[in-house]
Amino acid sequence: MSEGNDGAIRELLEHLRAEREVLRTGRFGELAPLIAHKESLLAGLAGTPGARLAQAQRMARENQRLLAAAIEGVRAARARLGEIVQGAQGYQSYDQRGRAQRISPERPTLEKRA
C-alpha cells in the first residue's frame, strides 16, 4: 500500500471525527458540505485493502447511529409539540352518562376597571 493511501485514511478518520462532533453538538446545518467532502475522500481510497479501512468503517457506523438517534429525537420532539398544541385547543372526554363531550380551554376575558 502506498503512503498516499495512509494519508488518505488518516484524513478520512479526521473527517469522521469532525462529522461525529457536528452530530453530537446538533449542528446539522454543517452536514451537507461534510457529506460532499467525505464522498471525495472515499473516492480517493479506491483499491485500499478492507483491513485498512476497518477503523473508518466502525467510525462511519457510529456516526450513522448518532444521525439515526438525532432524527428520532427530532421526530419525538415534533410529536410532543403536536400533543401540546392539540391539548391547548381542548380535548375529548366523556360525561357521567358516557357521552363524548368537547372540553375547551377557558378563553381569557378582558376585565375593565374604572
Spatial distance between the Cα atoms of 85 and 100, rounded to a whole number of angstroms: 21
For 18-39, write each residue's pLDDT tens digit.
999 999 999 989 999 998 899 8
Q: Does pTM surpass 0.85?
A: no
pLDDT tens for 7-18 read 888 899 999 999
CA terminus-to-terminus distance, the chain: 89
Is 109 a domain residue?
no
In a domain, 95, yes or no: no
- In a domain, residue 30? The reply is yes
Residues 91/103, Cβ–Cβ less than 8 Å: yes
| Domain assignment of residue 50, yes or no | yes
Q: Within a domain: residue 104? A: no
In this model, does residue 106 exceed pLDDT 80? no
The tens digit of pLDDT for each residue in 54-101 reads: 888 999 999 999 999 999 999 999 999 998 888 778 778 888 898 988
Number of structural domains found in the chain: 1
User: Nearest-CA neighbor of 23 among 77, 59, 75, 76?
Assistant: 59
Residues of the domain holding 23: 3-89
22 within a domain of the structure (yes/no): yes
39 belongs to a structural domain: yes
Question: Which grid coordinates belong to 54?
Answer: 476497518
Instruction: Determine, yes or no, domain membership for 19.
Output: yes
